[in-house]
Amino acid sequence: MKQTKHDARIEPGEGIREGTCDAFIGHPFRWFWAILGPKRPQYVVGVLLDLVAVAASMVPAMVAGRLVDDVLVGGRRELLAGYLALIVGVPVTRALVGVFYRFLFENASQDAVLRLRVGLYRHLQALDGAFHDAADTGDLMARATGDMDMVRHFISFTVYATLENAVLFGAGIAYLFTVNWTLALCALAVSPFLLFLTLRLGKRVRPTFAEVRAQFARLNTKVQEDIAGHRVVRAFARKDFETERFERENDAYRQANVRSSAVWQRFLPWIDGLTGFLAVPVLLVGGWLVIEGRMTLGALVAFNGLLYVVSNPMRMSGWLMNETQRFAASADKILELLAAPVRIASPEGGYAGPFVGKVTFDDVSFAYGENEAEFPEVLRRVSFTAEAGWTVGILGETGSGKTSLVQLLSRFRDPTSGAVRIDGRDLRSCDLAALRRAVGVVMQDVFLFSDTVEGNIAFGVPDAPDETVMDAARTADAEGFVSRMPEGFGTIVGERGVGLSGGQRQRLSLARALAVDPRILVLDDTTSAVDMETEAAIQEALERDYGDRTVFIVAHRISSVRRADLILVLQEGAIAERGTHGTLLAQDGIYAEIYRTQAGLDGAPGGGAGGADGAAGEVR
């Protein structure tokens, strides 16, 4: 089954889109309001309904007080039915309203997280190779899952719970002062101590959440590595060793959670104890006021029933501070990722084609980092021109810069100095998507998706007709083994091509690049895992079906490049030799030495001359 195209695009919005995040770093609560985006009106309606429900929650206790004074003490039985209706009806109505405003909060949180995930995913796709080389996969997964869920929880619950308790405390205290100011002061007596404890808790607990989150990322990385590398683990019989490493990381995560919990537990007994103590002075002082006739029994019942408006917010304050600090720690991590700069991007109004295929490297140097002492140049002043339709072979020892050179063609990275041009245009002036559609890359490290064979081949062109997929597979010499699969092109390929040989994966990767019909084709050691006969068949098919394309072949075998129009031999990042197969053999240098070694000829210059001359005749 081919991949489907979705026309609807979700716009991430402020605080999520690239370039809008820097201002929110260190201000997670401003960011929370920004990412609500179009759901802000809905969220405000939910807050207002919540506040109405909070006010209604005090009604039953107030009515209970009136019931005692008017019905039980005053004997006005005709009021009983009305009072009971209020005591029962108000909580039921509040529960129904609660269902609605909680739905509004949950809907707003899911919408915000949906757009946040989209923005984060797009940003990760836009970040360059340098970022992904340095990034920790487990940490990125932790930010995209655990941290994201903490943001959702904060929007859907923590915010309204905090507002609810703050309003309940404020409105409740105001009403309690109208009932009896003496009792109200007794209820507030412990508030300064609770405020002090809550602030101390917030200061102490935030660093522990950062530690928990960092250790969770390390644990995530360990699991990801072991799952991806399980064959290596088994091949070297290192299961027990890797299990011990996992157990150490798992135990470190447990200990980080225990330390965080210990901070919380040091404050919890004091907070609970002080809030529980509130009832003692209220009952003692209130009873004395009723005996003295300075307060009615109904007022004391109402006051005691409303005592939760003081005790519950105080009890919740520590827990809400706990949740708020967890959100702040997660928000900082997500914002830090969203603010990572995108160094390789399309210029405004960049050239979008068509491309002919002439490639020029103009005095190009490249290093993987900015610090020259730590990251020496892997390419040094490389200059050459490949005319449209040429085949360019690139040879060199491991680490000579072959892969780095061809990566510059697709702007996976930009040169440190100099310029790479296509048809005379600097790649940095071209539209990035159009450029990458024009340059088909078959990478050295083959990656296949968990999709059908057809879906993998048509990855770059999801709407490609079946004939295009078949032709690409045929040219890549993949049609034969695919037809023998249980469901042919509809066979599901396991993650990373599990179940296929190295050569089969390479041929599917080649077919994927050919299906895009690129003007420039980059083969990075593509045929290293296939036999010589298959390699020859692939080369003949490429010349037949894609002979008018510019082709770059990175290889270790002379057989892969001997028919190229231009062969570059790299040594320590510089071009040591250049020419055709015949001219390079005649120079009797590095290329000729490689040729004699691979051909099994005498290493002496004289001994290899005859073979070299004979082979030169095969150069086209």
pTM: 0.72
Give just the sign of the alpha carbon dihedral 187, 189, 190, 196: positive
Give the amino acid at 121: Y
Do the beta carbons of residue 493 and residue 451 sit within 8 Å? yes
CA-wise closest residue to 437 among 525, 337, 355, 331:
355
Q: How many domains does the chain have?
A: 2
Identify whether residues 426 and 397 lie together within a single domain.
yes
Question: Residue 93 has which token pair?
Answer: 């109505």
pLDDT at 370: 64
Q: How confident is the model at residue 619 (pLDDT cuts 50, 70, 90)?
A: very low
Instruction: Look over the chain and give the mean of its residue pLDDT values, rounded to a whole number.
Output: 79
Q: In what order do the strands lie in the sheet with 425-426?
A: 379-386, 359-366, 417-422, 425-426
Task: pLDDT band for 2, please (50, 70, 90 cuts).
Answer: very low
Q: What is the identity of the amino acid at 199?
A: L
Q: Which of 119 and 359 is assigned the larger pLDDT?
A: 359
Specify whether the CB–CB gap between 489 and 525 falls below 8 A: no
**Alpha-carbon distance 409 to 568, whole Å?**
15
Specify the pLDDT at position 260. 78
Alpha-carbon span 579 to 593, nearest angstrom: 15
Question: How many CB atoms lie under 10 A from the CB of residue 17?
Answer: 15
Same domain, residue pair 143 and 30: yes
- Using one digit for the tens of pLDDT, what is the confidence trace for 457-495? 888 888 888 888 888 888 888 888 888 888 888 888 866
Instruction: Report, as an integer, the average pLDDT of 324-342.
Output: 84
**Rg of the chain on CA atoms, in Å:** 36
pLDDT of residue 609: 37
Same domain, 332 and 372: no
Tokens representing 176 are 């309690």
Greatest mean pLDDT among 192-206, 313-327, 337-351, 526-540 lies in 337-351
Q: Is residue 590 part of a domain?
A: no
What distance in Å separates the CA atoms of residue 611 and residue 264, rounded to the nearest whole number? 80
Read off the pLDDT of each residue in 109-132 and give the average, rounded to a whole number. Answer: 84
Question: Helical H runs in 229-354?
Answer: 230-235, 239-277, 279-291, 297-305, 308-338
Q: Regarding beta strands 439-442 and 520-524, do their DSSP bridges make them parallel or antiparallel, or are they unpaired?
A: parallel
DSSP line for 310-321: HHHHHHHHHHHH
Q: What's the pLDDT score for residue 613? A: 40
Instruction: Return phi, psi of residue 385, to 5°.
Output: -130, 135
- Quick one: average pLDDT of 5-22? 63
Residue 602: what pLDDT? 54
Backbone phi, psi, residue 542, to 5°: -65, -45
Tokens 């979008």 sit on residue: 352
**Model pLDDT, residue 606:** 42
CATH code (residue 259)? 1.20.1560.10
598, part of any domain: no
Residues 496-518, mean pLDDT to the nearest whole number? 80
The overall longest dimension of the chain from CA atoms, in Å, is: 127
For residue 493, the enclosing domain spans: 359-579
Whether residues 456 and 498 fall in one domain: yes
DSSP code string of 548-615:
TSEEEEE-SSHHHHTT-SEEEEEETTEEEEEE-HHHHHHHTSHHHHHHHHHHT--SSHHHHHHHHHHH
Output the pLDDT for position 264.
Answer: 66
As beta bridge partners, residue 396 has 570
Residues 315 and 410 in one domain: no
Residues 439 and 385 in one domain: yes
Percent over 70 (pLDDT), the chain: 86
Which strand (E) or helix (H) includes residue 381?
strand 379-386
Q: Give the C-alpha separation, 43 to 45, whole Å.
A: 5
- CB count within 10 Å of CB 38 equals 12
375-409 burial code (b ≥16 CB/10 A, e <16): eebbbbebeeebebbbbbbbbbeeebbbbbbbbbb
CA-closest candidate to residue 562, choices 547, 544, 583: 583
- HSE-CB at 180 with a 13 A cutoff on CA atoms is 25
Average pLDDT of 86-102?
A: 83
Decide which of 338, 368, 398 is a domain's last residue: 338
Amino acid 394: pLDDT = 92
Q: Which pLDDT belongs to residue 384?
A: 94
617 within a domain of the structure (yes/no): no
Cβ neighbour number for residue 370 with a 10 Å cutoff: 9
Structure tokens given for 23 = 């201002």
Question: What was the pLDDT predicted at 47?
Answer: 86
420 pLDDT higher than 90: yes
CATH of the domain at 444: 3.40.50.300
Contacts of residue 227, Cβ cutoff 8 Å, sequence gap at least 6: none
**What is the C-alpha to C-alpha distance for residues 551 and 291, in angstroms, rounded to an integer?**
101
Q: Are residues 152 and 277 in the same domain?
A: yes
Query: 275 and 374 share a domain?
Result: no
Let me know whether 198 and 76 are in one domain.
Answer: yes
Q: Which residues contact 257 (CB under 8 A, 6 or more apart)?
A: 212
Is the residue at 365 inside a domain?
A: yes
- Three-class DSSP category at 360: strand
42 and 153 share one domain: yes
Query: Are 333 and 394 part of one and the same domain?
Result: no
Phi, psi of 420 (to 5 degrees): -105, 130
439: helix, strand or coil: strand
Assess if residue 1 is contained within a domain: no
Determine, yes or no, domain membership for 491. yes
Highest mean pLDDT among 31-45, 195-209, 241-255, 581-595: 581-595
Does residue 151 form part of some domain? Answer: yes
Segments in 79-158 forming alpha helices (H): 80-126, 129-134, 137-142, 148-153
In a domain, 46, yes or no: yes
For 296, other C-beta atoms within 10 Å of its C-beta total 19
Can you list the pairs that 227-236 forms with residues at least 24 positions away whose Cβ atoms lie under 8 Å? Answer: 228/496
CB atoms within 10 A of CB 143: 22
Find out whether 580 and 407 touch, Cβ atoms under 8 Å. no
Question: Of the residues 279, 303, 338, which one is the last residue of a structural domain?
Answer: 338
Q: Are residues 280 and 377 in the same domain?
A: no
